A and B are shown apart, each in its own frame.
Chain A
Amino acid sequence: MTSHFLLMVLFAFFVSLVFAVLLRDEPREQLRTGAMMFGAFLVAAIVAGWLMYPFPL
């Protein structure tokens, strides 16, 4: 698998899952926190990607 986006999504999923379960005790809260964290990961990555677009290395 060489899709950087899919690998980033997979990474975001694992990290969000573990943090949500660590930080919250109630399953409903865990789901909410995990979903928010996962979404934040994706949005931040896409925004950072677009910000870096004019600066090829």
Chain B
Amino acid sequence: MSTKSTTAERGRATTEPGTVALVCLAAWLVPGAGHLWLKRRQKGLIFLIALPLMFAVGLWLNGRLFPLELSDPLVFLGAIANRGVGAPYIVARMMDMGAGLVTAASYEYGNTFLMTAGLLNFLVILDAYDIAAGRK
């Protein structure tokens, strides 16, 4: 199956600034959507599966979705990281998940999975931006 996901197979194309912003928004909302939009199917599909799955594992491990509390800088940064994953975060919030169980042995692992999924998606958004802007 040819996915035509490599730069060698496709030329660089600059997208309109408004479209670049939309690509970034889509990439935040649905991990991998930016790459799928830009026809990088192989990369997009891997992000689409791996990042929400990593987030789900974090919830399963009793991790906590942190609130945006400016009074506690580390919690605030954790909250920003949590929100990086987009729709899975919104869905988890709507389903009242991510309360966190501090006494669980896997609590810190859960937090790590949840935050890392969001932070990795920030990198994915930046990559989608670079592709849309014609830098890659």
Which residues B9-65 have CB closer than 8 A to chain A? 42-43, 46-47, 50-51, 53-54, 57, 61
Residues of B within 8 A of A25 (CB): 5-8
- Please pick, from A11, A18, A26, A27, the residue contacting B109 in the complex, using a CB distance under 8 A: A11
Which residues B67-120 have CB closer than 8 A to chain A? 105-106, 109, 112-113, 116-117, 120
Residues of B within 8 A of A17 (CB): 46, 50
Assess the A15–B6 pair: CB atoms within 8 A.
Answer: no
- Please pick, from A1, A21, A26, the residue contacting B61 in the complex, using a CB distance under 8 A: A1
Which residues A3-57 have CB closer than 8 A to chain B? 4, 7, 10-11, 14-15, 17-18, 21-22, 25-27
What's the interface size class on B, roughly?
A: 20 to 34
Assess the B109–A14 pair: CB atoms within 8 A.
Answer: no
Interface of A: prevailing SS: helix
Q: Let me know if B132 is at the binding interface, CB within 8 A.
A: no
- Please pick, from B43, B54, B109, the residue contacting A4 in the complex, using a CB distance under 8 A: B109
Given contacts A11-B116, A25-B6, A27-B42, contact A18 B47 (CB under 8 A): yes
Residues of B within 8 A of A10 (CB): 57
A-B contact pairs, 14 of them (CB 8 A): A2-B105, A11-B116, A14-B54, A14-B57, A14-B113, A14-B120, A15-B116, A18-B47, A18-B50, A18-B51, A21-B42, A21-B46, A22-B124, A27-B42
